[in-house]
Structure 1
Amino acid sequence: MAAKTTKKNEPQKKLQTEIGKEAVAHDKTSQSEISLLLKKAKKATWPADISPMLATLVDEPFSDPDWVYEVKWDGYRTIAYIDNGKVDLRSRNNKIFTDKYYSITEIFKSWNIKAVIDGEITVINKNGVSDFASLQNWRSETDGELIFYAFDLLWYDGKDLTQLPLLERHAILNHIFSQNNDDRIRISTIFNTDGIEFFEAAQKLGLEGIMAKKANGTYDIGARSKDWLKIKTDKRQEVVIGGFTNNEGSSKIFSSLLLGVYQGKEFHYVGKVGTGFSSKKQKEMMEEFKPLITKKNPFNTEPDINKPSRFRPNPPKATATWLKPELVCEVSYAEITDDGVFRHPSFKGMRSDKKAKEVHLEVEKNTENIIADTGNTQSEEKKDHIVKASENKSVKTLLNPTEKTQVKKVKGHELKFTNLDKIFWPDEKLRKRDLINYYFQVAPYILPYLKDRPQSMNRFPNGIHGKSFYFKDVTGKAPDWVKTFLYHSETDDRDRHYLVGDDEATLLYMANLGCIEMNPWSSTIQKPDHPSFCIIDLDPDKNSFDQVIEAAQVTKQILDDLGIPSYCKTSGSTGLHIYIPLGNKYTYEQSKEFARVIVTLVHNELSEFTSIERAIKDRKGKMYLDFLQNRPHATIAAAYSVRPKPGVTVSMPLHWDEVKKGLKMSDFTILNAVERLESEGDIFKPVLGKGIDLVNVIKKFSEGF
């Protein structure tokens, strides 16, 4: 049988390209060194029925010099028993694979060795990625390229190797493989590299996940070890099929599968899945279902299969057919709800290699705790070398740190970034490229607040201490691909084409013009005279920031008493901004007058240091409670916008419990904003929501709250 070659699609080769060939832990060990390693191992008789060592699922990747990394293969775990021409392939629960995957068996038969190898059988698709669905449907070599990835050696030539360190076992395995000339049997490459970068490269290539393994760890037969950790690029879970449903009026063989997992002896319902299988697959599955049909509900409680949801308040009427819980499948999902049900599951394939009774809900463990458990003798100095993904070690940037002019393609548009070395913040020595890289990183977070909104661009081409100017009318000055909005101003009887916030390319185009801050309208081009939110701007003069905080707290209390939700962010300059969602239901005039009422109530409580006088001279150094930001087309820095101020500050949304004494404007800059966003997410999102009912608010106010 001729050897096949598919190395052009080898995912490990692609990873080497992504992270550098020097990351591969090459095991070029001489025969004499191999002999010394084997002498360390204990003599042992030929093993049988080995239960493989299992990995612990953790929640995020990490980097640690004592750990190495491998690809997590999306296939069937397989132990290969090779005895000088006799070959036995078995699954993790001892199911025989020898005849089913005959092409792998035939190759191993040609190996004149006595060894037990732990690995994974996969099918590699045309993109070089292991494809579980193709493996499940594999019947012959015309169904796809069957590959065996070997990642451990448990027994060899009369010696038990399980108590040797991983890298020594791998060295012996590499030595054995040096005589292999068939590319369908491959070594699972060990990468001695940065684990976070390795995970990101695996994500980019569409791999299922990565394995992190303790370099000096032993092999614990049958154990779920903390020396092997798996980190998945998407959420997957093995589940047991406890029945199926048929929707009223549907022509499908079945509408969804009813899924469960075992908790002890009890079979618990975890949801239903109705996507991911073709008509052909449904027919095959129904043949497996028929002998398992039963009248008895197998779950510990009867599932509510017609339960309405927020998105489906009137679901189609369904009937259930129960099955004995013996068949195992795998699903992907977005998350697990508080009541233990999968959200947005999708069927990935049947798992003939797993026993139903062994299927339990696999919950991600905290990476930091697991690493601490495996290294409980490590020093504090050693712990400092462990880097987790949440520490945001390797945030991607758009522009390189050296070239003054760079051309990048963004969202299909070619952008030329110029004068990148120009200093924008002299004290911090931050340049124009730092500003552009920041907006590239926060684009997913800031764009919802710019999308479909005309922009009042304020350009600072020479940084925060240079002259600035507004650039509102882009008629004949913007690229053809930029979205614009024609608006006629009654004030000066002029037509202007405003640039409209649209996508990442538009955002970076503005940043390249020197727009340090992003100043969108409060309304969108769909309803230009109806703002999305009402804004109260707490603008201090000779006040302390603690007084600004006090004013914000009083404002929130008044709004709470009226049943009005509110959301606070730093201005990035000197004050705080409080937003109230309106949902584009009211005019600017209505928004302004509503804000006037609120700030008047605040001023009545804090008149000793606040003012609602428009003229600066009339405020007498007091904090201005600005409600006029709600006039048509007045603008204010968007959430996550940088401000043209010393300190490179950012307008940052806050949890209300953060609005307290000790808060400083300098707490949030372009140097830490991305890390905060990755930790907290976009907590400002509700300001773009449905909006309050002003009629009810006015009624409540007239009744004295």
Structure 2
Amino acid sequence: MPPTRKKNNSVGGTATPARQAPTKKKKAVANTEVKSLQKTLDDSLPALLAKAKTGLMPKNIKPMLATLVDKPFDDPDWVYEVKWDGYRALGFVKKGRVQLLSRNNKSFDKKFYPIHDMLTTWKADMLIDGEIVALDEQGNSNFNQLQNWRSEADGELAFYAFDILWYNGKNVMGLPLTERQAILKQVLPQEDDRIRISNVFDVPGTEMFTAAEKMGLEGIMAKRADSVYTSDLRSKEWLKIKVNKRQEVIIAGFTKNEGSSKTFSALLLAVHEKGKLKYVGKVGTGFSDKRQQEMMELFKPLIVKKSPFAEAIDVDKPSRFRKRMGAKPTWLKPQLVCEVAYAEITDEGVFRHPSFEGMREDKKAGEVVRETESDTKKVVMEVNKKDKPAAILTKAPKDKGRKTLLNPTDETQTRNIKGHDLKFTNLSKVYWPKEGYTKRDMFNYYYQVAEYILPYLKDRPQSLNRFPNGITKPGFYQKDVKGKSPGWVSTFPYTTSDGVKKEFLVGDNEDTLLWMASLGCIEMNPWFSRIQSPDHPDYCVLDLDPDKNTFNQVIKIANAIKDLLDAMGVPCYCKTSGSTGMHIYIPLAAKYTYDQSQMFGRLIVEDIQRQYSSFTSVERLVKNRKGKMYLDFLQNRPGATLACPYSLRPKPGATVSMPLHWDEVKPGLKMSDFTIKNAPARLRETGDLFKPVLGKGINLQAALAKYPKQLR
């Protein structure tokens, strides 16, 4: 969990002689002790309940809701909690009778019977507010697992209680949040681990948010410490800040691409906006074949001939970088709700590269509206009722419309990058002779894509692949930068087999990126792991390396790997190598060793090789492959590197290693589709498709349990 901020209650000083008058310091100590004791008395259960009104347990009550804001903040008048990834629920317990209700008063009694049955054992009467979650083997909440939960064989349930509304004849909704939390902590039975307190953390909000990002949590909650509980109110005194953008949406239909063997290719999504149903795009990733078949059973009774939208919708709309897929729509009555994760929303109001997270049986379609992020600074200032800013906000995102770093004429130019003066020389030197692309073009490219490529370089040792005289002249690798790099460049020490101490360069900000480029590093080659966890990679990579194969065969194998991983419930992401093949990444979040990653990669490629042995090989020696495509899993080892996402390649055409939508991985795709000239424009349209690779890692144990039995 997020680190706790330690309080220093010690007071220094020497003992005072018996007859000497008390000093101011001793008075201060006494005052502190009195206040501490008084707080202890004030926080006692009888004292707290005495402040509450007597009354019957509320009925037909709905939970208090939070306002979505765009940034974390620090403020001493607010407290911070984990935003759990589950179903909101109210637990009514009175004289052994229990109701477990959703935010829309839908019964969860039978659906989540272990929680309901456990609440019936409580002796005290109370009404609590919290979140039902399904826990994976690491103890993290997993919404997809919760959504598919049918019995205790499907995993462990837990109820995280974060508020109390009524206790033994006392309505505590009018007490300040901190006092309600103090009551909850004292009265909540905790003999059974299925009921847990959702802890409040004594840390700055920005620090809490950073910890949530690292742990792969959905986000954090910020609550005004003195806020009262108001039923069915979306309050600005409760705020939610999401690590990843997510939204409940209505399923308005589905599509099937021409020639696809899938049950369906994508869901057509909608929200209510100004009283009308608004199309917000489609989602084609995040569900397995089995899940699709289950969803189709829900769809069949809702199929209609007429579109639910007032305006005409082009469900197969092409873009500059995507051709028509031959998608045909099937419309549904807009009654089902699901949840999607997405990167951002376009100017047209459409979700950019969304991913299906699960069905939302606890939400009504009529209540689904577009959820927009409010400005944190304005909301907090409004709630705090102060004339000056009350919060320290995180930095605004970088401008996505960067132009160029260097002008087109001067041969030598100096630019200040992150406080460091970098000198760029010989800028007209041609690096790609056939196309005429220069050293200047390379610098401008990396400057334009810096915000996209840096997450894949930061904190990772680099293997410098240098081509100081362009791609047609010999290049060389450099690993040791000891004594050869500026003082502000981060390094990572290592010792050779001969006992010589050396240092890797470590990726950091764009100053480091552009300094590497100044060495003639046309491509960027980071480790799979970071210096904080050097023996634990952030992803497993499968490298499809063709020999005498066509690129269409590479595409065939990539899709076969995805189908196998889909069956195991394992997300995967693909990119062109920028050379001849493709790379498939599986997120691990540094939870496993390189050996474990390599063994998992081997399991996958050996199965694929058995299916396609006529043109694939897992032989390490080139001579033993006999011209077949090499399915390389051995890259998953310490110190190994590949050209990272958005890296240029020292190849004809100045190609780029480009992340792809899976529906782009089809015959007709070419490596030359993505180059130094069009990649920045594509990124402005698609955003970072590879972002999930650095997010929540897979559960390897759960994945192996789903490995097809016929392949064991």
TM-score (normalizing by structure 2): 0.55
Letter in 1 for 2:363: K
2:466·2:521 contact (CA, 8 Å) conserved in 1?
no
Residue 339 (structure 2) aligns with? 330
Residue 107 (structure 2) aligns with? 96
Residue 508 (structure 1) aligns with? 490
The correspondence of residues 515-664 of structure 1 with structure 2, limited to 5 A, is: none
Q: Larger C-alpha radius of gyration, 1 or 2?
A: 1
Residue 568 (structure 1) aligns with? none
Matched, 1:38 2:38: no
Match of 2:349 among 325, 340, 347: 340
How far off is 1:496 after superposition? Answer: 9.7
Match of 2:330 among 321, 327, 330: 321
Matched, 1:145 2:156: yes
Residue 238 (structure 1) aligns with? 248
The CA RMSD over aligned residues, in Å, is 4.1
Residue 295 (structure 2) aligns with? 285
Residue 173 (structure 1) aligns with? 184
Matched, 1:265 2:270: no
Match of 1:358 among 353, 359, 367: 367
Distance 1:343 1:482, change over 3 A: closer
Distance in 2, Cα, partners of 1:501 & 1:454: 24
Q: Could you list the per-position Cα deviations for residues 36-79 of structure 1 after superposition, in whole angstroms to 9, with x for gaps in the alignment?
A: 21121112222112110000000000000000000000000000
Match of 1:84 among 70, 75, 95: 95
Residue 388 (structure 1) aligns with? 393
How far off is 1:482 after superposition? Answer: 4.5
Distance in 1, Cα, partners of 2:44 & 2:354: 50
Distance in 1, Cα, partners of 2:228 & 2:439: 62
2:269·2:281 contact (CA, 8 Å) conserved in 1?
yes
Residue 164 (structure 1) aligns with? 175
Letter in 1 for 2:203: T
Q: Could you list the per-position Cα deviations for residues 642-680 of structure 1 after superposition, in whole angstroms to 9, with x for gaps in the alignment?
A: xxxxxxxxxxxxxxxxxxxxxxxxxxxxxxxxxxxxxxx
Match of 1:304 among 293, 314, 330: 314
Distance 1:525 1:303, change over 3 A: same
Distance in 1, Cα, partners of 2:201 & 2:105: 30
How far off is 1:389 after superposition? Answer: 1.4
1:453·1:521 contact (CA, 8 Å) conserved in 2?
no
Distance 1:98 1:485, change over 3 A: same
Distance in 1, Cα, partners of 2:678 & 2:259: 35
How far off is 1:454 after superposition? Answer: 9.6
1:120·1:149 contact (CA, 8 Å) conserved in 2?
yes
Match of 1:483 among 465, 478, 495: 465
Match of 1:203 among 207, 213, 222: 213
Q: Could you list the per-position Cα deviations for residues 328-372 of structure 1 after superposition, in whole angstroms to 9, with x for gaps in the alignment?
A: 000001110001001101000000000000000000000000001
Distance 1:265 1:375, change over 3 A: same
Distance in 1, Cα, partners of 2:292 & 2:154: 19
2:469·2:520 contact (CA, 8 Å) conserved in 1?
no
Letter in 2 for 1:188: S
1:453·1:525 contact (CA, 8 Å) conserved in 2?
no
Q: Could you list the per-position Cα deviations for residues 281-330 of structure 1 after superposition, in whole angstroms to 9, with x for gaps in the alignment?
A: 01110111111111121122221012101221x22111111100000000
Distance in 2, Cα, partners of 1:167 & 1:134: 32
How far off is 1:192 after superposition? Answer: 2.3
Matched, 1:57 2:62: no
Distance in 1, Cα, partners of 2:305 & 2:226: 53
Which secondary structure does the structure 2 equivalent of 1:105 belong to? helix
Letter in 1 for 2:490: L
Distance 1:70 1:248, change over 3 A: same
Letter in 2 for 1:306: D
Distance 1:22 1:210, change over 3 A: farther
Poorly superposed stretches of 4+, deviation over 2 Å: 18-23, 27-33, 435-439, 452-455, 479-488, 494-502, 505-527, 687-691
2:465·2:475 contact (CA, 8 Å) conserved in 1?
no
Distance in 1, Cα, partners of 2:123 & 2:200: 25
How far off is 1:689 after superposition? Answer: 3.6
Distance in 2, Cα, partners of 1:496 & 1:343: 39
2:248·2:368 contact (CA, 8 Å) conserved in 1?
yes
Distance 1:508 1:141, change over 3 A: same
1:298·1:325 contact (CA, 8 Å) conserved in 2?
yes
Distance in 2, Cα, partners of 1:201 & 1:352: 30
Gaps of 5+ in 1: 1-13, 393-434, 440-449, 456-478, 489-493, 528-686, 692-705
Identity of aligned residues (%): 50
Gaps of 5+ in 2: 9-35, 398-415, 421-430, 432-436, 441-460, 494-502, 524-674, 680-712
Which secondary structure does the structure 2 equivalent of 1:357 belong to? helix
Which secondary structure does the structure 2 equivalent of 1:276 belong to? coil
Matched, 1:68 2:79: yes
Q: Could you list the per-position Cα deviations for residues 542-573 of structure 1 after superposition, in whole angstroms to 9, with x for gaps in the alignment?
A: xxxxxxxxxxxxxxxxxxxxxxxxxxxxxxxx
The correspondence of residues 220-239 of structure 1 with structure 2, limited to 5 A, is: 220-239=230-249
1:485·1:497 contact (CA, 8 Å) conserved in 2?
yes
How far off is 1:497 after superposition? Answer: 6.3
1:85·1:109 contact (CA, 8 Å) conserved in 2?
yes
How far off is 1:160 after superposition? Answer: 1.4
Which secondary structure does the structure 2 equivalent of 1:242 belong to? strand
Q: Could you list the per-position Cα deviations for residues 474-520 of structure 1 after superposition, in whole angstroms to 9, with x for gaps in the alignment?
A: xxxxx9954344869xxxxx999695999xx9863599899999767
Distance in 2, Cα, partners of 1:286 & 1:251: 14
Distance 1:526 1:300, change over 3 A: same
Distance in 2, Cα, partners of 1:126 & 1:118: 25
Q: Could you list the per-position Cα deviations for residues 358-410 of structure 1 after superposition, in whole angstroms to 9, with x for gaps in the alignment?
A: 0000000000000011111x364xx45x2111289xxxxxxxxxxxxxxxxxx
Letter in 2 for 1:322: W
How far off is 1:437 after superposition? Answer: 11
Letter in 1 for 2:162: F
Letter in 1 for 2:73: F
Distance 1:171 1:236, change over 3 A: same
TM-score (normalizing by structure 1): 0.55
Distance 1:22 1:129, change over 3 A: farther
Which secondary structure does the structure 1 equivalent of 2:165 belong to? strand
Which secondary structure does the structure 1 equivalent of 2:395 belong to? helix
How far off is 1:181 after superposition? Answer: 0.7
The correspondence of residues 454-493 of structure 1 with structure 2, limited to 5 A, is: 482-485=464-467
Distance in 2, Cα, partners of 1:283 & 1:198: 39
Which secondary structure does the structure 2 equivalent of 1:68 belong to? strand
Letter in 2 for 1:35: P
Figure out how many residues of one structure are paired with residues of the other and give that number: 430
How far off is 1:265 after superposition? Answer: 2.8
Matched, 1:114 2:119: no
Letter in 2 for 1:156: Y
How far off is 1:155 after superposition? Answer: 1.1
Distance 1:391 1:304, change over 3 A: closer
2:462·2:504 contact (CA, 8 Å) conserved in 1?
no
Match of 2:140 among 107, 125, 129: 129
Distance in 2, Cα, partners of 1:326 & 1:287: 14
Which secondary structure does the structure 2 equivalent of 1:390 belong to? coil
How far off is 1:131 after superposition? Answer: 0.4
Distance in 2, Cα, partners of 1:480 & 1:352: 47
Which secondary structure does the structure 2 equivalent of 1:47 belong to? coil
Letter in 2 for 1:508: S
